[in-house]
Amino acid sequence: MNGHDTDTRIETDSLGQVQVPKAARWGAQTQRAVDNFPISGRPLPERFILAVVRIKRCAAEANLKLEQLPADKQAAIVGACNDLLAGHHLDQFPVDIFQTGSGTSTNMNVNEVIAHLCADAGVEIHPNDDVNLGQSSNDTIPSAIHVSAVLAVTEQLLPGLEHLIASLGLRAREGRELVKTGRTHLMDAMPVTVEQELQTWVLQLQDASSRLARARDELLAIPQGGTAVGSGINAHPEFASTFADQLADETGLAFKPLPHPFVAQSALDAPLNLSAALRGLAVVLMKISNDLRWMNSGPIHGLGELQLPATQPGSSIMPGKVNPVICESVTMVAAQVMGLDQANAVAAQSGNFQLNVMLPLVA
């Protein structure tokens, strides 16, 4: 049904009618969130949205296997999810990070977009009764935190660290015979080799990588299937295990149902552990970057022990000046990660009884 404004249409939810942009593939609940939360202008990260979409696809597959969802509806939902996972329509998720603490607005945004895509394909799908079948925002959003974090650490962070460790290890071996001044209190101390100095960084990074991998593995246990409060109400008794098997098959990672879903819905202990491991990595990278800046300082009136690659001019007024800009960039990222870890700590203790209500911030 069209609204009075030709650029909008009318959608309806339990609170009544809402005007939605005609071209939008979301519905009434998403539009209410857009109207209610014009706060940061920042939507949740694409990787997180795609994790929610992946959950919807696995839920449809699980509900088909459990005979809770007809095959035509399952096929339509899976097709819509595949479209989104291929990178299409990702402009249809406008809800601000700073929204309802359960992330319900984002869960419904995904449900509504999938339902609209199904309708475009000629299959009538209900965003709650079909797309959200056997689920709640209260188990879907924390599960998506786990899934998106596991995939990001596995696909991006650990391989990047492995490359950095290998590169530093090579440079360390090249410096086996090079002796330089050691320093304590920034003052000259006993001599060390370049290999000894760089190998310290290598071992720090290897330890940080191991801590990250352990924190990642802790997130493989997901609360999906706990529904509203953790008890699994309105979900098939075998939904949690069937869903986890489907997710493990799709990702090649050992996702499994959390034995007591209440834990990951009312608290965020495992995501906070990953946040702490990220903070630990940030501290290591800050130390390495600052050492490199000192060693590169000068080159005439500083330490001048090494020369970092020139990546860009360093001054708008001093010709020939080159600065350690990559190291500076890393130190700013490290500072931001440390601050985000503090925000995650505040968010993680904001669980009241059966639900944490700062889930989108941690996501």
As annotated, the active-site residues are 185, 315
SS3 content of the chain, % helix, strand, coil (to 5): 55, 10, 35
One-letter-per-residue 3-state SS of 121-135: CCCCCCHHHHHCCCC
What is the number of other CB atoms lying within 10 angstroms of the CB of residue 311? Answer: 12
CA Rg value for the chain: 25
269 contacts 260 by C-beta, under 8 angstroms: no
CA pair distance 282, 277, nearest whole angstrom: 9
99 contacts 171 by C-beta, under 8 angstroms: no
The type of residue at 128 is N
CA pair distance 150, 7, nearest whole angstrom: 41
Instruction: Give residue for tokens 């079948």.
Output: 133
CA pair distance 75, 195, nearest whole angstrom: 58
46 contacts 100 by C-beta, under 8 angstroms: no
3 contacts 21 by C-beta, under 8 angstroms: no
178 contacts 171 by C-beta, under 8 angstroms: no
Phi first, then psi, for residue 258 (nearest 5°) are -70, 130
Looking at 175-324, list the stretches that DSSP marks H as alpha helix, in order from N- to C-terminal side.
Answer: 194-218, 239-251, 262-266, 269-296
